[in-house]
Amino acid sequence: MQFGSSLRRRRKWKGVLSAALLIGVAVVFLVLLSSFGRSTLERQQESLNDAIHRDIVQCYALEGVYPPSLEYLQEHYGLTWDPETFFVDYEPIGSNLYPDVTVMIRGK
Supply the pLDDT for residue 82. Answer: 95
Supply the pLDDT for residue 102. Answer: 97
Supply the pLDDT for residue 88. Answer: 97
Supply the pLDDT for residue 105. Answer: 94
Burial of 53 (0-12, 13-18, 19+ CB in 10 A): middle
pTM across the whole model:
0.66
Report in angstroms the alpha-carbon separations of 77 from 25, 60, 82, 85: 47, 12, 16, 21
Mean pLDDT, consecutive 10-residue stretches, the chain (108 aa), reads 65 78 79 70 94 97 96 96 96 93 89
List the domain boundaries for the chain: 2-105
